[in-house]
């Protein structure tokens, strides 16, 4: 974990109070905190930093809801999805480059919620002073941290059945790993001070959390009150296996979130009534990008992810 990340941190267990964390005895290597504990002086919670990754998930908070994101198979799938263009795979999609192109240069820090294995965070490092990627999956965040440290990775992708092949990639020279950090955290109880980020991003997360409204609230809280960008993209594959329909932000015929998810989120953040503590956003571009996930060499998921960009 980078020292400058410390400045942004608060205890997620004390939210909505914002209480600082104190770094206890720690081991530093190459200027980064490798091992140690972050302690809340108020509630007494202790958050470990292990192998350079801080785990800032509150004990009572959301536990990793989908163990699927912790499995080696899904890790490999996401590594392909994020980095296949870097090893010249002709089937790769350009989704992350397209999404990154939607963001104007940012003075200050960017937050990438649900960062998985880190591609969008690395993209953002070319446009800002600091990027913090957060995800609930320890497997994803630890792998993103390894890519950050080593600037490269070799991993196995599934070809067919039990057969796989090795792929290797290196981070693009235009990205700046010195500006990137990854922490394990819950996108519905973010361990960051209000108003910390010049840009907050949520890529394909809103339909994967059991608490989508809290996720939007937390994005709005973590962003600066002014001179801030918000970027949200999602296929809106609402599923009862993840979240009860009463909590969906779209995809239902009745209730306050009747209709399409993207319309409802645009209304939610631009009207501000549902998010009383947050200044409202001005909605900018809306659109869609084709995003591709590869399960094995003959099996891909082609997903239309709808985005909106907003500023305040």
Ligand X SMILES: C[S@@+](CC[C@H](N)C(=O)[O-])C[C@H]1O[C@@H](n2cnc3c(N)ncnc32)[C@H](O)[C@@H]1O
How many other CB atoms are found less than 10 A from the CB of residue 72?
A: 10
Q: Which is nearer to ligand X, 187 or 262 (CB)?
A: 187
- Cα(181)–Cα(192) distance, integer angstroms: 14
Q: Which is nearer to ligand X, 40 or 183 (CB)?
A: 183
Q: Which is nearer to ligand X, 69 or 236 (CB)?
A: 69
Q: Which is nearer to ligand X, 101 or 225 (CB)?
A: 101
CB nearest ligand X: which residue?
Answer: 114
Site for ligand X in 169-188 (CB under 6 A): 186-188
Pairing mode, if any, of strands 180-184 and 163-170? unpaired
Site string for ligand X, 109-128 (x = CB under 6 A): -----xxx------------
Q: Which is nearer to ligand X, 137 or 176 (CB)?
A: 137
Sign of the alpha-carbon dihedral angle for 222, 231, 96, 106: negative
Pick one of 75, 110, 203, 310: the residue that binds ligand X (CB under 6 A): 203
Helices (H), the chain: 3-6, 72-83, 95-100, 119-124, 138-150, 212-222, 261-271
Least separation in angstroms between CB 38 and ligand X: 18
Least separation in angstroms between CB 65 and ligand X: 6
Q: Which is nearer to ligand X, 22 or 299 (CB)?
A: 299
- Cα(305)–Cα(50) distance, integer angstroms: 34
Q: Interface with ligand X includes 69 (CB under 6 A)?
A: yes
Q: Is the peptide bond before 16 cis (omega within 30 degrees of 0)?
A: yes
Pick one of 171, 205, 275, 310: the residue that binds ligand X (CB under 6 A): 205
Q: Interface with ligand X includes 136 (CB under 6 A)?
A: yes
Site for ligand X in 206-225 (CB under 6 A): 208-209
Site for ligand X in 224-283 (CB under 6 A): none
Identify which of 156, 91, 72, 102 has the alpha carbon closest to the alpha carbon of residue 302: 91
Q: Interface with ligand X includes 135 (CB under 6 A)?
A: yes
Q: How many residues does the chain have?
A: 312
Q: Which is nearer to ligand X, 6 or 64 (CB)?
A: 64
The CA–CA distances, whole Å, from 282 to 270, 310, 312 equal 6, 5, 6
Pick one of 76, 125, 137, 176: the residue that binds ligand X (CB under 6 A): 137
The two three-digit tokens of residue 41, written as one number: 């002086």
Q: Which is nearer to ligand X, 69 or 257 (CB)?
A: 69
Q: Interface with ligand X includes 58 (CB under 6 A)?
A: no
Helices (H), 60-155: 72-83, 95-100, 119-124, 138-150
Q: Interface with ligand X includes 74 (CB under 6 A)?
A: no
Q: What is the DSSP letter of 112?
A: E
In sequence order, the 6+-apart residues with CB closer than 8 A to the CB of 239 are 207
Q: How many residues bind ligand X (CB under 6 A)?
A: 18
**Do 184 and 135 contact (CB within 8 A), yes or no?**
yes
Residues forming contacts to ligand X in the complex (CB under 6 A) are: 62, 69, 114-116, 134-137, 140, 186-188, 203-205, 208-209
């Amino acid at each position: 974990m980078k020292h400058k990340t410390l400045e942004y941190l608060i205890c997620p267990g004390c939210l909505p109070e914002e209480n600082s964390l104190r770094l206890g005895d720690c081991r530093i290597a190459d200027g980064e905190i490798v091992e140690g504990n972050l302690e809340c002086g108020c509630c007494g919670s202790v958050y470990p930093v292990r192998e350079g990754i801080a785990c800032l998930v509150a004990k009572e908070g959301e536990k990793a809801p989908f163990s699927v994101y912790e499995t080696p198979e899904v890790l490999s799938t996401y590594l392909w999805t994020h980095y296949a263009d870097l090893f010249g795979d002709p089937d790769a999609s350009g989704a992350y480059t397209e999404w990154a192109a939607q963001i104007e240069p940012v003075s200050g820090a960017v937050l990438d919620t649900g960062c998985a294995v880190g591609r969008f965070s690395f993209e953002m490092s070319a446009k800002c002073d600091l990027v913090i990627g957060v995800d609930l999956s320890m497997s994803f965040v630890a792998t993103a941290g390894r890519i950050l440290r080593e600037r490269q990775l070799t991993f196995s992708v599934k070809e067919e059945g039990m057969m796989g092949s090795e792929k290797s990639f290196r981070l693009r020279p235009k990205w700046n790993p010195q500006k990137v950090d990854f922490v394990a955290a819950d996108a519905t109880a973010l361990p960051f001070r209000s108003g910390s980020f010049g840009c907050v991003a949520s890529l394909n997360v809103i339909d994967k959390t059991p608490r989508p409204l809290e996720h939007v609230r937390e994005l709005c809280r973590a962003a600066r009150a002014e001179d801030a960008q918000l970027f949200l993209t999602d296929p809106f594959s609402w599923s009862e296996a993840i979240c009860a329909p009463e909590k969906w932000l779209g995809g239902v015929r009745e209730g306050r979130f009747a209709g399409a998810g993207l319309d409802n989120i645009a209304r939610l953040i631009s009207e501000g009534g549902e998010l009383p503590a947050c200044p409202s956003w001005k909605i900018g571009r809306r659109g869609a990008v084709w995003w591709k996930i590869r399960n094995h060499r003959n099996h891909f998921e082609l997903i239309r992810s709808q985005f909106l960009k907003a500023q305040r």
